Amino acid sequence: MAGISERIIDRLKAVNRLIALAMGAGLLLCAAFILAEILVRQLGGSLGGTDEIAGYVMAIVTSWGMAYCLLELGHVRIDFLRGCFASRGRAVLDLICMATLAAVASVIAYKCWPVVERSLVNGSRANTPLETPLALVQVPWFMGWAWFALSAWITLVAATFLVLQSRLKEAESVAGVFAEADAAAREAEAAT
Amino acid sequence: MIGTLSVSLLALLSISLPVGVVLFLLAFGIDQFYSSFPLIRGLGNMVWSSSKSATLIAIPFFVLLGEILVRSGIASRTYSALDRWFSWLPGGLIHANVATATMFSATSGSSVATAATVATVAMPQAERLGYDQRLFSGAIAAGGTLGIMIPPSINLIVYGFLTQTSIPQLFLAGLVPGLLLALAFLVVTALICAIRPDLGGTRRVFPFIDMLKALTELLPIIMLFTLIIGSIYMGWATPTEAAAVGVAGAMLIAALTSGITWKMMEASLLGTIKITAMIMLVVIGASFLNFTLASAGLGRELQDFLGSLGLTPFYTLLVIVAIYVVLGFFIETLSLMVVTIPIVVPLVLELGYDPVWFGILMIVLIEMALITPPVGLNLYVVQGARRSGSMSDVMMGSLPFVFTMGLMVAALIAMPGIALFLPAALQ
Amino acid sequence: ETLSVVGSWSGLPLHKEFEAPFWTEKLPAASGGNIEVELTTHNQMGLGVGDVFRLLGDGVYDVGMTVADYAVADAPELEGLDVPLLALNADDARAMVNAARPMVADIYKDRFNSHVLAIAPYPPQVVFCNAEIGSLDDLQGKKVRASGRMTAIFLEALGAEGVNVSFSEVPGALQRGVVDCAVTGAGSGYSAGWWEVSTHLLPIPLGGWDSVVTAVNMDRWNSLSDADKALIEAEIKTGFEDPAWAVAQDALVNDIACLTGNGECPAGDARNMTLVEVSDADFEKARGILIGEVLPDWAERAGGDWAQRWNASVGETVGVQIAN
Ligand code: NA
Ligand code: NA
């Protein structure tokens, strides 16, 4: 029977999967918008502002994609030394890494807030014909980083409980290194 | 400072912290110990302005394009078509590995994606046909590196973005060296297998009519390459827009050949978001690290160091190349680029070298880093697809190709025209 | 006292010839070794151009300088400092900047928590075209690469279309017809080889003069002794601002000579772009558009009493009034 830690992680994964799909859909929309711009330009017109909007899409996709990547163990880690440890040693190393990541993600989110705050206070608008209110795009961008930090802390707590219960294999699947081996194997399955 | 930094970098990386996180930690350290200003107050602005980039959105687009090609089966059909054309050479199917990697490089912007694509479709064949696994897998790892040399290339986009160099010019400059490298890989494979036939597999000759039929399977990739690169040089699209055109093209081709399913799109989008976030954490971390390095005066320190050696520009260049080869053993490739570009490129320009040319030279060095142990992403990717045997097989098999890349570096330095004549001719 | 200074684009003459010598040599010498400076530039730090004054206000460094127009996202009223086509030569541009100075000081105090030390010019932003151009009117229907909201609105009113292309991609874009014209400083266009891919040069400041503001963080400024403050203010005027303005007009004339071959080119080989003479009628038309559309639009964006203040200062100097 799955413990509470696993249930929490499964929930978190499901939510992040939905977020990632939404971001993917955003990318597709952005691509469609760029195509439309190319077509309109061939006809001598212009929709205008595709570059600017693509930039905002990139910032938001990036920040909200972070937590999904984390839960899928996608952030590159160099594991040649880690591979030399026994499973308990690996588990401790993984917890240290996850704690560090959670701390760094929190610092990033915390330091991103003043950027949004200033745009809100100044009512800043992009220096472009679109005059995009910066807060409109910076608030979702900031929330993506905050969600990344929160997801990292939740993952850390769940993984710590698993390690304390000596369920190292499960802990590794939550906070370990997703060996490129597994990644390629899954690719292989997906392709057949 | 350079010494402390390098040691901390290696130490933090080796305890398996995520690469992006390591870059942030180094930046925090520099802020704390080497700078009198509160640089961390600039963190939020750096994160915003380095991710809010219309240039970088080409990264998720190219990744998505590759995902669609693999998941729609276009990749495996291309491989079997190239098998018919190349398996008569000494080394047999190994040539199809290189040829498939070359073709995919022309639509993929990433080396890891190219290697993963080819490994996925090729590795099962190696076991079935009784190939020596070393050379077979080494050829995939090395062929995959062409992904960042033959346009389009995510790494060249990042280089152009960071150094304010024209991306279409860089793409043009990478084409000839990329094709030359592919050719060199084929020649090296044939030579090795001519001397040691046991390393290759059976040479197979297919009826000519089969070969002709197989050509139609290559059409999707050729059309896609023409669409992406053509739209840039016809003046229809910027490199970023061309990436969006490529996504549309790949979806159209997938729809026409095997149909687009919801499951396949879902998997492609999820894969894209994961890889994009992975790359961007590294890019953003490197931007912030660069900001702290510049404030702490590392550029000056390095310049003084190279100046104190009293070398001519040529020997200084050789020192820089040597540094890249050594760093390439240990550092993941994109990080290697983004961390070093802001420091090295201004130096190289000051020495009087061309920014487009140096971009291509750096790409060869980065390609080398992809297949040199202990940290060589393509080695891991290919090893992953084998699911048996030892990592050192792949490393051994890659060695002849590392050597070939070394020759390419020498050739680029001796004859810059290899890279520069095409952009010059088309200007 | 050690000041950390972030300069403007490291590759451009303003930094190499004026900023760098002033901060690293003149000021430390004048202070008798009392003031030391650590100098870098925003491009060497990898800063986004819009971040320079934000970070200055946050106290990341002590002194920052960059083009005022880069900061208008945070302060739309700042656009009034540098209106395109109102000042045609360096003397007029300086008079305009001096008139705007009290407004600029208030804006930097309120928006960026900083104190303005100097305003120096980049060469005016002129127009390179790869198309037959005989007058301002001929820009109608052309695709023009320009930056800045005011210039974009002006182009739109002319019937031209603004296109966003990054600086390094401009030559390719001009050559392939992605854009017909592009705006940048005459000197930058010369050294970046834009003359290879364009035929006609319109030597009018369509993008304004690109004033570079030097400002110091307010808290840091208040922490300095009165003697130091007085020294810096006096030195920066005579050692940086005055010499930078003094060469501005000659630099423009030289750069145009280099591009068109209509005179001596000190920077290298002269090229042979066609110099387009802009008629008085063109300027009348430009003023009409400014008064009729661009400036009222700005007044609304800036809000407050900025339009009145502008009328009473800059407007008086250049003879243009924004209707209320
Ligand atoms: Na490629
Ligand atoms: Na390596």
Question: What H or E segment, with its residue span, contains residue C20?
Answer: helix C20-21
Regarding predicted confidence, which is higher, B346 or C111?
Answer: C111
Tell me if B113 sits within 8 A of B161, measured CB to CB.
no
pTM of the model: 0.84
* CB-CB neighbors (< 8 A) of C58 in chain A: 114
Contact B273/A68, CB-based, under 8 Å?
yes
Q: How close is the Cα of B271 to the center of ligand 1, in Å?
A: 18
Give the C-alpha separation, A124 to A4, whole Å: 45
Give tens-digit pLDDT for A28-69: 999 999 999 889 878 877 777 888 899 999 999 999 999 999
Q: In this structure, what DSSP letter does residue C127 have?
A: E
Tell me which ligand sits closest to the C-alpha of residue B155: 1
Give the C-alpha separation, B278 to B274, whole Å: 6
Contact A38/B121, CB-based, under 8 Å?
no
Which residue on chain A is closest to C160 by alpha carbon?
A45
- Closest CA of chain A from C7, distance in Å: 22
Tell me if C87 sits within 8 A of C315, measured CB to CB.
no
Tell me if C210 sits within 8 A of C125, measured CB to CB.
yes
Who among A80, A93, A100 is closest to B21 (CB)? A100
- Does residue A188 carry a pLDDT above 70? no
Burial of A139 (0-12, 13-18, 19+ CB in 10 A): middle
Contact B75/A191, CB-based, under 8 Å?
yes
Calculate the average pLDDT of chain A. Answer: 87
Who among C69, C75, C149 is closest to A129 (CB)? C149
Contact B380/A179, CB-based, under 8 Å?
yes
Query: Which of B117, B276, B280, B372 is the best substitution to test chain A (most A C-beta atoms within 10 A)?
Result: B276
Tell me if A78 sits within 8 A of B14, measured CB to CB.
yes
Query: Which of B23, B31, B45, B289 is the best substitution to test chain C (most C C-beta atoms within 10 A)?
Result: B45
- Residue B232 has a pLDDT of 82
Residue A181's pLDDT band (cuts 50, 70, 90): very low
What the block records as the tokens of C296 is 């009222």
- Closest CA of chain A from B308, distance in Å: 34
- Give the residue-averaged pLDDT of B89-113: 85
Give the C-alpha separation, C197 to B109, whole Å: 29
Residue entry with tokens 């005027």? C237
What the block records as the tokens of B234 is 């016809």
Give the C-alpha separation, A55 to B240, whole Å: 11
* CB-CB neighbors (< 8 A) of C154 in chain A: none
What DSSP assignment string belongs to B156-167?
Answer: HHHHHHHHT--H
Q: Ranked by mean pLDDT, which of A145-159, B161-175, B343-357, B387-401 comes out on top?
A: A145-159
Tell how strand C63-67 and strand C211-217 pair up: antiparallel
- Closest CA of chain A from B120, distance in Å: 5
- Residue A1 has a pLDDT of 43
Q: How close is the Cα of B19 to the center of ligand 2, in Å?
A: 14
What the block records as the tokens of B313 is 């520009």
> What is the rounded radius of gyration, in angstroms, for the C-alpha atoms of chain C?
20
Mean pLDDT by 10 residues, chain C (324 residues): 88 88 94 89 79 90 90 87 86 92 94 94 88 89 84 87 77 81 87 86 86 94 94 95 90 89 85 89 88 91 90 91 82
Residue B300's pLDDT band (cuts 50, 70, 90): low
* CB-CB neighbors (< 8 A) of C161 in chain A: 45-46
- Closest CA of chain C from B162, distance in Å: 8
Give the C-alpha separation, C252 to C14, whole Å: 13
Give the C-alpha separation, B8 to B14, whole Å: 10
Give the C-alpha separation, C173 to C35, whole Å: 47
Contact A124/C74, CB-based, under 8 Å?
yes
Give the C-alpha separation, C106 to C115, whole Å: 9
What the block records as the tokens of C3 is 């000041």
Contact C60/B290, CB-based, under 8 Å?
no
Q: What CA–CA distances, in Å, run from B146 to B99, B185, B325? A: 11, 11, 17
* CB-CB neighbors (< 8 A) of C54 in chain B: 45
Contacts of A158 (CB under 8 A, 6+ apart): A5, A6, A8, A9, A174
What the block records as the tokens of A156 is 């850390």
Q: Using DSSP, state whether A129 is helix, strand or coil.
A: coil
What the block records as the tokens of C121 is 């010019």
Tell me if C67 sits within 8 A of C211, measured CB to CB.
yes
Give tens-digit pLDDT for A108-156: 999 999 999 989 988 888 877 778 899 999 999 999 999 999 999 999 9
- Residue B163 has a pLDDT of 82
Contact B274/A20, CB-based, under 8 Å?
yes
Nearest to A173 by CA among A1, A4, A10: A10
Give tens-digit pLDDT for B301-338: 777 777 788 888 899 999 999 989 888 886 667 767 87
Task: Give the CA count within 13 Å in the CB-facing half-sphere of B305.
Answer: 14
Nearest to C4 by CA among A126, B404, B294, A150: B294
Give the C-alpha separation, A90 to A82, whole Å: 6
Calculate the average pLDDT of chain B. Answer: 85
Q: What percent of chain B clears pLDDT 90, i.e. is strictly above it?
A: 28
Contact B244/A78, CB-based, under 8 Å?
no
Task: Give the CA count within 13 Å in the CB-facing half-sphere of B122.
Answer: 36
- Give the residue-averaged pLDDT of B144-164: 87
Cis amide bond preceding C13, omega within 30: no
Regarding predicted confidence, which is higher, B241 or A160?
Answer: A160
Query: Which of C4, C15, C45, C163 is the best substitution to test chain B (most B C-beta atoms within 10 A)?
Result: C45
Contact C153/A129, CB-based, under 8 Å?
yes
Chains in contact with A via at least 3 Cβ–Cβ pairs below 8 Å? B, C
Tell how strand C161-163 and strand C143-145 pair up: parallel
Give the C-alpha separation, C161 to C146, whole Å: 10
Neighbours of B121 (CB within 10 A): 27
Contact C164/A131, CB-based, under 8 Å?
no
Nearest to C82 by CA among C91, C73, C72: C72
- Closest CA of chain A from B140, distance in Å: 13
Give the C-alpha separation, A172 to A150, whole Å: 20
Q: State the complex-level ipTM.
A: 0.83
Give the C-alpha separation, B14 to C304, whole Å: 58
Residue A178's pLDDT band (cuts 50, 70, 90): low
- Residue B384 has a pLDDT of 67
Contact B291/C48, CB-based, under 8 Å?
no
Residue A189's pLDDT band (cuts 50, 70, 90): very low
Tell me if C112 sits within 8 A of C54, measured CB to CB.
yes
C11 touching B, CB under 8 A?
A: no
* CB-CB neighbors (< 8 A) of B395 in chain A: none
Tell how strand C63-67 and strand C2-7 pair up: parallel
- Does residue B150 carry a pLDDT above 50? yes
Give the C-alpha separation, B127 to B284, whole Å: 41
- Closest CA of chain B from C307, distance in Å: 31
- Give the residue-averaged pLDDT of B21-30: 91
Find residue C125's DSSP bridge partners.
Answer: C185
Give the C-alpha separation, B167 to B243, whole Å: 13
- Give the residue-averaged pLDDT of B165-185: 93
Give tens-digit pLDDT for B59-83: 889 888 888 888 888 888 888 888 8
Nearest to C285 by CA among C176, C154, C189, C128: C154
User: Which string of b and e fits B331-342 if b means at least 16 CB within 10 Å?
Assistant: bbbbbbbbbbbb
- Closest CA of chain C from A120, distance in Å: 10
Residues C238, C240, C246: CA angle, nearest 5 degrees: 80
Burial of A42 (0-12, 13-18, 19+ CB in 10 A): exposed
Tell me if B396 sits within 8 A of B137, measured CB to CB.
no
